[in-house]
Amino acid sequence: MVDRLARAAGDGDVAVVRRLLGSGAEVDGPVRAGRTALDLAVHAGHAETVGVLLAAGADLRQRAGEYAESTPLCLAAMCGHTAVVKVLLEAGAPTGAQGRMGYVPLVLAATTGEQGHPHIVDLLLRHGVDINRVMKDKTALEWAAGFGLVQMTHHLLARGATPTAKALSEARAGAKRSLKAAVNYALVIDALHATGVEG
């Protein structure tokens, strides 16, 4: 029954998920690959299914992701699933460093995808997350600058991220590593210089 629950959750089949839970399926029972129904529903972006699983007692802090390196909120933030992030936050998901890798949801939202996920960044900030929270000794802005993410750099600065000499240093180091992205890094450096930061 756990395999059927996980499959239905991954498919977003809310009716089947409800029926299986009502029949006694273990909400956080892992399938052969070690992933749970909540993990698979989050990964696939099925917000309603996530809500049903949480209401049935699914653990917000469980390990998630292909290698169990993440958590439901981190996975949703990385995948860009805004509606799922909203459901998890409203259910009380933790927003600090989490999972085996010490991931910070805000940093993941700011740096995954082509230009990060600004809507998720904003949602996390509305839930009181500190924009200058650090993951592996760098803030979201410093990570974004290091990746040459022009739009996200501007977005974070507009939302009040602290411009730092470290962000500038990360952008300069990125420019040296990737000549193909030189234009992007130049724009990031310009944005940081415009704030008055030096280094």
Task: Quick: pLDDT tens for 111-161.
Answer: 999 999 999 999 999 999 999 999 999 999 999 999 999 999 999 999 999
Note the pTM of the prediction, 2 decimals: 0.93
The whole-number pLDDT of residue 34 equals 81
The whole-number pLDDT of residue 39 equals 96
- Within this chain, do residues 192 and 122 fall inside the same structural domain, yes or no? yes
Question: What region, left, alpha or beta, does residue 68 occupy, with left being phi > 0 and alpha being psi -120 to 50 degrees?
Answer: left
Residue 9: pLDDT band by 50, 70, 90 thresholds?
Answer: very high
Q: Is 134 helix (H, G, I), strand (E, B) or coil?
A: strand
Q: Which domain holds residue 60?
A: 1-94
- Within this chain, do residues 69 and 5 fall inside the same structural domain, yes or no? yes
Of 94, 124, 157, which one is at a domain's C-terminal end? 94
Most confident of 2-6, 62-66, 87-91, 100-104: 87-91
Of 32, 67, 94, which one is at a domain's C-terminal end? 94
- Within this chain, do residues 54 and 110 fall inside the same structural domain, yes or no? no
The whole-number pLDDT of residue 140 equals 98
Angle, nearest 10°, between helix axes 118-126 and 72-79? 140
Residue 99, in any domain of the structure: no
pLDDT digits (tens, 9 = 90+) for 87-106: 999 999 999 999 888 999 99
Question: What region, left, alpha or beta, does residue 128 occupy, with left being phi > 0 and alpha being psi -120 to 50 degrees?
Answer: left
Number of structural domains the chain divides into: 2
Q: What average pLDDT does the structure give for the chain?
A: 95
Residue 152, in any domain of the structure: yes
The whole-number pLDDT of residue 150 equals 97
The whole-number pLDDT of residue 98 equals 93
**For residue 176, what is the domain's CATH number?**
1.25.40.20
The whole-number pLDDT of residue 44 equals 97
Of 66, 94, 122, which one is at a domain's C-terminal end? 94
Question: What region, left, alpha or beta, does residue 13 occupy, with left being phi > 0 and alpha being psi -120 to 50 degrees?
Answer: beta
Residue 63, in any domain of the structure: yes
